[in-house]
Structures are given as structure tokens and as C-alpha cells.
Amino acid sequence: MELALRIADDPSGRELSSLRAWLLREPGLRGGMAKVTAGGVTGPGHMGAEGLELINVVLSNAIALGSLIVSIASWRASRPRRPPVHIETNGVSVVVHTNDPEDLRAIVEALTRTTTRST
């Protein structure tokens, strides 16, 4: 399962960089997260990545999806501003904007449904 993670109103990419580092250190994702890459702004007039725009995550199983969502919620709780994290996969977008367990479960279910529909 491939997912794109974004944070709105983060022009410097600092929040997204922090989230990426958090996910890479998260023990609950080891083994389930096949790949995490970052995308930045590049092109004419840019000497390199100007700011992180998105994180691409490849998960190897559904259990890893639950761990990813919980990890994102934990990261948000550690931030003073608690920015919402936008997740997109298979044309479906959800936003992690709460740490409520029921809301997080609904997000996992919504993303899982997109995977079963596309296979």
C-alpha cells in the first residue's frame, strides 16, 4: 500500500521533516514500512529541495497501516501546534486531526477499504 503524507501550511517543510524522522525511528513500524521517501520543490531556479512537500510511505501489510496512523497521532501530540496530517492513497484523502481512538480507527478502516477496492 502506497500513501502520500502532507501537512498544509508548512512552507519550510520543517513539520514534515520532523514527522518523517519520527516515523523512521518508530519501533512499531519496523518491518511493516517497506519504504519512506521525501519529495521537495526542485526545478529551474532552485538549487535543490527548498522544502519538504510530501512523504511517500510504502507499507507491507494492514497491521503496519494501523501502526502508521497511531504513530502520526503520537507525533501530532508531541507538537505544540498539532498540525493535521493529510493522507492520500488510491484517490482517497483522509486527515488525521485528532488523537481520538474511534476517529483513528475510522481512518484506518477508510484507508483499508481503498486498498481492498483497488486489488
116 pLDDT band (50/70/90 cuts)?
Answer: low
pLDDT tens for 65-113 read 999 999 999 999 999 999 999 999 999 999 999 999 999 999 999 999 8
What is the reported pTM? 0.82
pLDDT tens for 26-35 read 887 776 665 6
Mention every residue, 6+ apart, whose C-beta is less than 8 A from residue 88: 3, 4, 6, 94
| Average of per-residue pLDDT values in the chain | 83
Cβ atoms of residues 74 and 37 within 8 Å? no
Domains located in the chain, CATH noted: 2-118 (3.30.70)
Residue 59 pLDDT greater than 60, yes or no: yes
